[in-house]
């Protein structure tokens, strides 16, 4: 809804305008005539800082406009004022955008903040966040932490099959490096069972499939 997006985009400025109008009416006519404007101003400003413009961010993400999504995130000046579940989403989005830029330190910081906030609104994203943290740990060479986070991600549940397949493949590779071949084969079987279609994941399955049948166990 275009009107709603426009309202959310300019909600803070509408609130400030209402506040200035309320002050002007207060000065000229007294407090009671200005009360309605004060209430409107308070609601607009409060909801801007408490809920934020996440609907606008969602529209940008759905259209693939990640630069636009980041611009909207930058309008959230005080994320600590956001309602707890909304703040979790904020840090998840920040982490995802940082991952796309390969800024892994920033991504890790935001993902950890998101997980520390918890809340029912973040249950679906918990597994995805832990998977990304696990992948980042592996990239840094911390296999122990990477394995732990990926196991937690699988246990928490990952909403899409492509990411779940990727998690199983990562566990398969970890088990191969640890020479736990039976476990590696089991994780590989689970990865294939997800029937992923993303080319990157399909290519990984093909590469591992070339030699996993020759493994003992």
Place 203 in a pLDDT band, splitting at 50, 70 and 90: very high
Dist. CA 60–CA 121, nearest whole Å: 20
129, 107 Cβ separation under 8 angstroms: no
Which of the 8 DSSP states describes residue 97? H
What does the domain layout of the chain look like in residue ranges? Answer: 1-50
Mean pLDDT to the nearest integer, 83-101? 88
Least confident piece of the model among 69-73, 110-114, 209-213? 209-213
Q: Is the pLDDT of residue 27 over 80?
A: yes
Per the CB < 8 A criterion, the answer to whether 80 and 50 are in contact is no
DSSP codes, 129-166:
HHHHHHHHHHHTT-HHHHHHHHHHHHHH--SSHHHHHH
For 85, counting Cβ atoms within 10 Å of its Cβ (0-12 exposed, 13-18 middle, 19+ buried), the class is middle
pLDDT at position 31 over 50 = yes
Report CA torsion sign: 89, 90, 92, 97: positive
Query: Residue written as tokens 């997800």?
Result: 194
Lowest mean pLDDT among 54-58, 136-140, 174-178: 54-58
Instruction: Give residue-wise pLDDT tens across range 98-137.
Output: 887 888 889 889 988 988 886 544 565 788 889 989 998 9
Whether the CB-CB separation of 171 and 152 falls below 8 Å is answered with: no
- Supply the pTM of this predicted model: 0.73
What is the maximal distance between C-alpha atoms in the chain? 88
Q: Tokens at residue 23, please?
A: 């002050």
């Amino acid at each position: 809804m275009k009107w709603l997006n426009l309202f959310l985009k300019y909600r803070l400025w509408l609130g400030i305008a209402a506040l200035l109008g309320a002050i002007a009416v207060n000065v000229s006519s007294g407090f009671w005539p200005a009360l309605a404007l004060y209430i409107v101003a308070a609601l607009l400003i409060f909801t801007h800082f408490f809920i934020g413009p996440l609907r606008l961010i969602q529209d940008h993400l759905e259209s693939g406009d990640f630069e636009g999504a980041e611009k909207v995130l930058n309008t959230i000046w005080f994320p600590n004022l956001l309602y707890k579940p909304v703040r979790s989403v904020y840090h998840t989005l920040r982490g995802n955008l940082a991952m796309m830029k390969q800024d892994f330190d920033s991504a890790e910081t935001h993902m950890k903040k998101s997980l520390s906030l918890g809340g029912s609104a973040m249950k679906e994203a918990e597994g995805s966040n832990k998977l990304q943290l696990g992948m980042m740990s592996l990239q840094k060479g911390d296999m122990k932490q990477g394995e732990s986070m990926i196991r937690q991600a699988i246990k928490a549940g990952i909403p899409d099959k492509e990411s779940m397949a990727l998690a199983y493949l990562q566990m398969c590779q970890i088990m191969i490096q640890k020479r736990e071949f039976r476990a590696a084969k089991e994780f590989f079987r689970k990865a294939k069972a997800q029937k992923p279609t993303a080319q990157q994941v399909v290519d990984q399955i093909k590469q591992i499939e070339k030699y996993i049948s020759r493994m003992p166990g």
